Every structure is written in structure tokens, then in C-alpha cells.
Amino acid sequence: MTTGRRRWLGCVPERPRRTLRRWSSVRSKEICVACGLVALLIADSRWLSRLPKLSTPTAGGQLVRFILTLFLSVLFAAARGSLRGALGLDPRGSLVSTYFQRNALVVGFVMGFAVIPIIYTIAEDALTAVPSALRSASLACGASRWQTATRVILPIAIPGIFSAIMVGLGRAAGETMIVLMAAGNTPVLEMNIFGGLRALSANITVELPAAVKDGTLYRVLFLAALTLFAMTFCINTVAELVRQRFRKRAVQL
Amino acid sequence: MRIVGEMRLNCDSIYAPEVDVIDLRKRMGMVFQKSNPFPMSIYEHVVYPLRIDGESRRRILDETVERCLKASALWDEVTDRLRGCALELSGGQQQRMCIARAIAADPEMLLMGEPCSALDPFATSRIEELIFSLRGEYTVLMVTHDMQQAARGSDYTAFMYLGRMIEYGPTKGLFVKPRLQETEDYITGRFG
């Protein structure tokens, strides 16, 4: 207990207890396999539908299933990590050249989550705008729901989904704080996705107080702002143009 | 919703719990009240049921298009624009194209939910002719509000009211000498 607390407070961690360590190294493989199997079984709805008790498609049941799957995947990831640690297969330094804890990959994930609501709402509009008569026509031909979605609904809604992605991209390009926090605030960018970065907008905010008026840095920062504006402007214009075209086509149906 | 009784398609009960709905839909072609063409070319539109089964052999697709469009009396009108958009056809043509799509999957029977109610009399007569020409090949089950239409071409007629089957019998018998007072009131227009 005290060990854990000290660790949490940032003290030098003690070596983990022997039993725990042995357990984790010996059992982790079995844990992996078991967790993977359970996660697969839970995710496979066909298997689930044979269980009459679990297959009820209520919101609560689905929530429980989601949380259970989430928990199991975290467990699975932890087990895999401990297995890799036990076998000494750390990709950092060998497979991945330099590794920063705050890196471009992390910011990619976090920004992805941040723009989900924007993309989701616009894409949902595009999908629901597809007339339901087409959906029933496709189902009546004997298509499954998945075939209906990929062959009929998606081709009609694709411009709307594209414009949703563009708007999300424009939003992500202008994002400051998330990138600043999660990407390690490293001004020099490299191709390695495990390296840090600093976004244009973050760069402007961070360096503007240090810039001398009419100095080189000052001008460069203004250039950066102009670039950022041009980028966002272009992305949003393209998104809007596509959306307009999509609307025209939707009216035709 | 409550269902009493049984429905069978060639001896298979369609409400049985083990019935695969997708398979059932492939066995029963469906034509809707309002024509619902996909925004594809006429060709792609007709072969859609084959495409979802993974058929991609050119020869079979071509044959199906020709057979179905000829069967639905649309072949002569669209031969030169099979690659054109299906949405450019007129309402009656679209409905006939939907019938072509329904028979492309080679179903055992055709369901039609008021296929002519959105069409003008001329287009209606074309569709009726088409339906009558299909009678040798498929069982056609058509719903209609049009008494004359029901009397004109059908072999058997069922009178349904508020989800209940009132009377069923050969068309001639039902229209000339109905057994129930309710049916007689309905076909003579004195109902309600």
C-alpha cells in the first residue's frame, strides 16, 4: 500500500514484489490467450445471439457489453505489455528510433477524438438524408443490411461524409491546446511518428510574447498565421463546395 | 402487431423462427407503391440482385439485363441508353424497371403493393399488361384499391379490411356473387 502511494507521489519506485512479478511473467501468456478469446466471443454477435439472456438488444445490455469489452481489451493490452516486458522485447530504441512519451501518435489519437463530434454530426446528416425508399428497395432485393449500406447508402452519402471529414480536418489544423499539451511542444518536426511536434497555431501563441516588433521572428510568425489561415480557408472552401454539390444531388432523388 | 394463422411460401412457413429473412426476400420479389430506383445506370440497377450475390460474369449479367428488360416490356425503350442514369426515366418506365429488378433475382413469387397508384391511366395499363404477361411464370400477389383493376386480371381475389381477411375466392365469384354482405357493400361502393 505504502509502496503504491509513494510511487504515485513520484518517489523512486521499489522493485515489485517477487510473487507478483513471477505471477505476471508466468501467467501473462495464459492471461493473454484467455482475454483474447473472451473479447472475441463477446465481440462476435453471432455467438452472443445464441445466448437468449444476453442477446436482448436493449440499450442497457449494449452498454454493459461495451464496458465489458472495453475492460477486457485494456486487460488484454496490459497482459500483452507485461508479456513483452518479461521477454525483453521493447521496441523503443530498436524498432522505433527515438521515442518521446508525448508524440505525434498520441496527438493524432487525441485530436481524432476531439473532432469526432463534428465529423459525426455532419456525416449522420448525410446518411439520414438518403431516402428510406432506397433502403427498402435494396433490402427487398435480398441484400443484407451491410450490403445495403455499402452499395446503396454510402455511394449516395459519400460527398457529405467527405465534406464532414474536411471540416473535421480544418478544425484539427487550427487546434492549439490539445496539440501543445499532447505533442510535447517540440518545434523541430521529424518524420518519426513517435517524435514530438508543435502545431502552427501553438507556435504562434508560444513565441509571440518573445518576438521583437518588426524583427525576423515577428515576421515569420505572421507568415505562419497567414499560412494557417490559407490552409483552413482552402479546406473549408472545398468542404463547402462538395456539400453544395451533394445537396443538389440529394434534391434530384 | 398480432398475427393469426399461417403463411406459406411453397410449403415453408414464412413466420417460422428459423427462417432467414434475407433468403426469404430473395425468394419473394417486391415492387413498391412508389418506384424506388437507385441512382445508378439502368444496367447496374437491373443486375443489382445478382451483384449482391457476387455475380460478376459479364455474359450472365448481360443476359439477365436483356431477359428482365424484355420481360418487363422496357427493352425497346432503353436499349440505346442502358448506361444512362435510371433517374432520367419517366415514372411508368421507372416502375417497370423496378419490376425488372424484382424478377432479376428469379424469385418464386412477386409481391406488389399498389404498383400503379402513383401512375397515370396510360402507364397503369402498360404495367397491368406487363403483370398479366408474367402470370405464367410467377405467382403475383398484388394489393390494389382499384376495384376494376382487381376484377380485370386476377384469378383469385381476397377482400381485406382493417388487417382482417373478410372473403377470399375466385375473382369471378367474388365480384359477381359475393358470399358476405360486407363484401357486396364494399364492391358496390356502399361501404361505411
The x, y and z cell numbers of residue A248, run together, are: 443538389
Same domain? For A72 and A127 the reply is no
DSSP state of B12: E
Residue to substitute from B20, B22, B53, interface A, most A β-carbons within 10 A = B22
Strand partners, A184: A197
The CATH H-level (homologous superfamily) assignment of domain B30-142 is P-loop containing nucleotide triphosphate hydrolases (3.40.50.300)
- Taking only the tens place, the pLDDT of each residue in A191-211 is 777 777 788 888 888 888 888
Q: What is the per-residue pLDDT for A222?
A: 92
Contact (CB, 8 A) for B115 and B149: no
Cell 483552413 belongs to which residue? A232
Residue to substitute from B23, B26, B35, B36, interface A, most A β-carbons within 10 A = B36
Same domain? For A83 and A114 the reply is no
B5/B16 Cα distance (integer angstroms): 12
Answer left, alpha or beta for residue B114, where phi above 0 means left and psi between -120 and 50 means alpha: left
- Taking only the tens place, the pLDDT of each residue in A143-198 is 888 999 998 898 888 888 888 888 888 888 777 777 777 777 777 777 777 777 78
Predicted model pTM: 0.66
A78/A72 Cα distance (integer angstroms): 10
List the single residue in B with minimal CA-CA distance to A141: B49
The x, y and z cell numbers of residue A205, run together, are: 501563441
Counted across chains A and B, CB pairs separated by less than 8 A come out at 56
Give the pLDDT band (50/70/90) at residue A1.
very low
DSSP state of A11: P
Give the pLDDT band (50/70/90) at residue B15.
confident
Same domain? For A53 and A172 the reply is no
- CATH at residue A181: 1.10.3720.10
- Taking only the tens place, the pLDDT of each residue in A69-84 is 899 999 998 888 888 8
Calculate how close chain A gets to B38, using CA atoms only, in Å: 6
A97/B126 Cα distance (integer angstroms): 73
Spans of all domains in chain B: 30-142, 155-192
Q: What is the per-residue pLDDT for A9?
A: 53
DSSP state of A183: S
The helices-and-strands tally (H runs, E runs) of chain A is 11, 0
A135/A133 Cα distance (integer angstroms): 5
- Taking only the tens place, the pLDDT of each residue in B22-70 is 888 888 889 998 888 888 889 988 999 999 888 888 999 999 999 888 8
DSSP state of A191: S
Counting residues of chain A whose pLDDT is more than 70, the rounded percentage is 74
Residues of B with CB under 8 A from a CB of A: 22-23, 25-26, 29-30, 32, 34, 36-39, 48-49, 51-53, 87, 98, 101-102, 105
Answer left, alpha or beta for residue A130, where phi above 0 means left and psi between -120 and 50 means alpha: beta
Same domain? For A155 and A72 the reply is no
Same domain? For A215 and A148 the reply is yes
Q: Which residues on chain A are in Cβ contact (under 8 Å) with B52?
A: 141-144, 147, 151
- Across the range A241-251, mean pLDDT stands at 74
Q: What is the per-residue pLDDT for A51?
A: 54
SS3 of B57, please? coil
Q: What is the per-residue pLDDT for A49?
A: 54
Query: Strand runs (DSSP E) across chain A, as ranges?
Result: none
Q: Which residues on chain B are in Cβ contact (under 8 Å) with A139?
A: 25
Task: Please give the single-letter amino acid code of residue B158.
Answer: A
User: Which phi and psi angles does B112 have, rounded to 5°?
Assistant: -130, 120
Q: Given A53, A87, A121, which residue is the final one in a domain?
A: A87
B98/A208 Cα distance (integer angstroms): 65
DSSP B133-155: HTTTTSEEEEE-S-HHHHHHH-S
Q: Is residue A95 part of a domain?
A: no
List the single residue in A with minimal CA-CA distance to B49: A141
Q: What is the per-residue pLDDT for A108?
A: 83
Task: Please give the single-letter amino acid code of residue B86.
Answer: A
On the CB side of A229, how many CA atoms lie within 13 Å of its CA?
7
Same domain? For A160 and A248 the reply is yes
Same domain? For A127 and A215 the reply is yes
Same domain? For A83 and A108 the reply is no
A169/A190 Cα distance (integer angstroms): 21
Q: Given A33, A52, A87, which residue is the final one in a domain?
A: A87
Q: Is residue A98 part of a domain?
A: no
Q: What is the per-residue pLDDT for A26?
A: 47
Residues of A with CB under 8 A from a CB of B: 131, 133-134, 136-144, 147, 151-152, 155-156, 249, 252-253
List the single residue in B with minimal CA-CA distance to A144: B22
Q: Is residue A233 part of a domain?
A: yes
Contact (CB, 8 A) for A163 and A243: yes
Contact (CB, 8 A) for A201 and A172: no
Same domain? For A156 and A244 the reply is yes
Same domain? For A111 and A6 the reply is no
- Taking only the tens place, the pLDDT of each residue in A88-136 is 777 776 667 777 777 788 888 888 888 899 899 988 988 888 888 889 9
Q: Is residue A239 part of a domain?
A: yes
Structural domain total, chain A: 2
Note down the domain range covering A67: 2-87
Give the pLDDT band (50/70/90) at residue A11.
very low
A149/A154 Cα distance (integer angstroms): 6
B11: which residues sit within 8 A by CB, 6+ positions away? none
Contact (CB, 8 A) for B141 and B109: yes
Give the pLDDT band (50/70/90) at residue A226.
very high
Which long-range contacts does B174-181 make (Cβ < 8 Å, 24+ apart)?
B175/B150, B175/B151
ipTM: 0.83
H or E element in which residue B110 lies: strand B109-113
**Using alpha carbons only, what angle is made at residue B40 by residues B35 and B43, rounded to the nearest 5 degrees?**
90
Q: What is the per-residue pLDDT for A221?
A: 92
Q: Is residue A96 part of a domain?
A: no
Q: Is residue A158 part of a domain?
A: yes
Q: What is the per-residue pLDDT for A42?
A: 61
H or E element in which residue A35 lies: helix A18-43
User: Which phi and psi angles does B174 have, rounded to 5°?
Assistant: -65, -35
Tell how strand B139-143 and strand B156-161 pair up: unpaired
Residue closest to A140 by CA, chosen among B115, B154, B28 = B28
A185/A199 Cα distance (integer angstroms): 8
Higher pLDDT pick, A30 / A229: A229
